[in-house]
Every structure is written in C-alpha cells, then in structure tokens.
Amino acid sequence: MKRQLLPPRPNWEARLQEVGFTWYAPTPEHPVPYWSEDGYYAFTSAEIATVQTAGQDLTRLVLDATGHAIERGRLAELGIPAFLHSAVRDSWEQDDPTVYMRLDVAYDGQGGVKLLEVNAQTPTSLLEAAVSQWQWLEDRQARGELPAHATQWNTIHEALTEQWTHLREARGLTEVAFSSARVDEDLATVTYLRELAQAAGVRTSFLFADELGTSPTEPFLLDTWSLPLRQLMWLWPFEYAWESRDAAFLASTGTRFLEPLWKTVTGSKGLLALLHELNPGHPNLLPATLSPGALGPQVVRKPLYSREGQNVQLPGEASTPGAYGDLPVVEQAYTELPTVPAPDGPRYPVLGVWVAGDEVCGLGIREGRSRVTDNRATFAPHVVLN
C-alpha cells in the first residue's frame, strides 16, 4: 500500500459534479479539501485479498454479535434506551432486511487488518467510493496516466443493485420512501441509493427528515400528504431520533426502517467490546471493554455514540472536542494507523470496507490529518496494480 501522486485532471471539479458529488471543496465546517484529486493509494492484488478476506470475516462477526446482544438482553449495556428494546428485538426476530454497511479498519500494509468501528445504519462516503473513484480511474486510464490493467476493488454499484433486486424479488419490497437531513452529502447518498432501488424495479419517493409526520391515530409515520410510510430508508441516526419529541413512535410505529431498527446495536461503539468478549484473540479485532481501566492505559476512549471523531481520547492526549462527552465510553486497545507522507503534511488512512447485504464489495479510503479521523479527513481513490 503506497500513496502516489498525479497532477489534477484539467476538469476534475466538473467531472465530480456530473455524478452528483458537490461537497469536494473546503468549507468552514470542513476546512480542507474533501476529495483528493492528486493523491491516491496503490495496492497489490494480494493486499486487497487480505483486506477482503478480513472484511468478510468481520461482517459475520458483527452480525453474530448483534444477534447475541439482542437475544441475551444486553441492549442496555450498549446505551439503547429501555423503551426501544422490544422493538429492536422484534426487528431482529422478523429479519428486517439490510441494504448496506461500512466497516472501518486499520491496515498496516503488512497483512494486519484491525477493526476500528462499524458504520452500519447511516454510512456515508458511498457516492465517492462507488462512483467518483471509479470515474477517476477511467479518466486516468484514458489520459494514459495509469495502465490499462489497473483496476479497483469496487463492485459497490453492482452489489447494491443486486441487493435491491433481492429485496424486491425475495422479500417483497416494492415501494420505499427515502429521507435525509438537508445536507448535501446525506442528500446525495440517499439520492444515489434511491436511483439504485429504482433501477431494481422498486417504486420510490423522497421527503426530508424534518418533513416526516406522526399522528396518535395513525399506526405509521406519515409523508407530507399525511399518507402512511410503510417502508422508510432513513439516513438519520436512531440515537438522534430517540432523543426527539416523537421518540415514542420509534417503538410503536408500523413503519419498517431501512436500515432496520436492529441496527441500533451496530450503531453503538459498545459493540466493539462484545465483539472482543465473544472472539478473544481474533486477529482482526482489537481488545475492547465497557469497564474503564480494565485494559490499562494504552487505550482509545470513545463515547458509545459519537460522530466525526468527537470526544475521542488517544493514550496520553486530551479528548477531542464534541457534543458526546457526557456519554458512557468504550475503551479499545490503541493501534497505530500508517503515517503516510503528503505534500501538505502526514496523512493517516482508514480503509472503509463496503458491504451489500452481508457480502463485502469494495473499498473507500479516508485520510485523516490526525490520528483521529475527523471533519478534516479527505477521501482518496485507490488502484490495484497487479
């Protein structure tokens, strides 16, 4: 695994915009470019095979640990409020389907793959992984800047289309409403997922998350016409929803969610502790615990729910700022991310392994400017060269 440089494509901004990727430039909230146009990562096919094998094994372990947490009544340990426990259990027992998730791993280029976090309910960086980096590869090959035999580990688009087709044909999913916050990245992610569902023959609609309605006399969540939403692909964190005014509807509504309500379990970083408990010594898992101090001082402390690297504390350092500092924490053994030189300072890459259903299907890379991947991370494309 090596970071390489190429000159920017002459029309790279327009090319990104053509596929709906509009948040590539710095903003006050994201003060560095989000898309790496000139830097990319080159892998050998053997390295990719190592990451792929580990990712598939980790996918199985995550789903097994999710079932364990639900079936053994351990949801409170993961920070899931009691009023939701029965609904989460029902969602699991009736096998509510899943479309996708992303596993974030550390890879040292020497064969070691370690799970850092699970992003299974609201994973983003999807459009850039599935579409924009493939477009980048084709453009580079057309310009003669990368060899014709270069490829990517990237069947994300095809695998997600197959998953939607499976949900329609085998699970009877014929109509889905899609919803997100009024944020460019979230909206683009949902729009892409919606297009894939439509291509698979699923009827779709869209409304923003703040337009969802409820009524004490209606068994479903409602759209802007007060019509029932029976299936909702909701790019909105469940932990936000259970703290909202209408939280009780999460437990009582007949609306079925994509991603399903059982993914409240995968949304908790406490799942890392259960994974270690159930699989001690597994080569792709880091020791983790919900008992502070049990692993000694060389640990990363993470709130059970947090985003964008907020309130994460590395060994011997102060906690990063954020809004989650009052939550219980999981402690996870510290592992070094690779330190990769770049013209504007070192980068610390985290590999995102994409999963459609329960099958791994591709790779996306985010480079942090620090050892905690936060809102200064950049998405970098990758190639496989042999």
Measured CA to CA, the distance from residue 188 to residue 194 in angstroms comes to: 10
Relative to beta strand 256-258, strand 231-235 is parallel
Q: What pLDDT score does 246 carry?
A: 85
Measured CA to CA, the distance from residue 176 to residue 153 in angstroms comes to: 29
- Report mean pLDDT in 10-residue bins for the chain, 386 residues: 96 96 90 94 96 98 98 97 97 97 93 94 95 98 97 98 97 97 95 98 97 94 95 95 90 96 97 98 98 96 92 92 91 95 93 98 96 90 95
Measured CA to CA, the distance from residue 251 to residue 208 in angstroms comes to: 21
Measured CA to CA, the distance from residue 43 to residue 37 in angstroms comes to: 18
* Residue 211 CA, distance from chain mean position: 24
Q: What pLDDT score does 307 carry?
A: 85
Contact 88, 82 (CB under 8 A): no
What's the one-letter identity of residue 296?
G
* Residue 317 CA, distance from chain mean position: 26
Measured CA to CA, the distance from residue 17 to residue 219 in angstroms comes to: 40
Which stretches of 72-183 are DSSP H helices?
85-93, 126-127, 133-142, 156-171
What's the one-letter identity of residue 154?
N
Q: What pLDDT score does 277 carry?
A: 98
In this prediction the pTM is 0.97
Domain boundaries along the sequence of the chain: 2-269+337-384
Backbone angles phi, psi at 170, to 5 degrees: -100, -25
Contact 349, 365 (CB under 8 A): yes
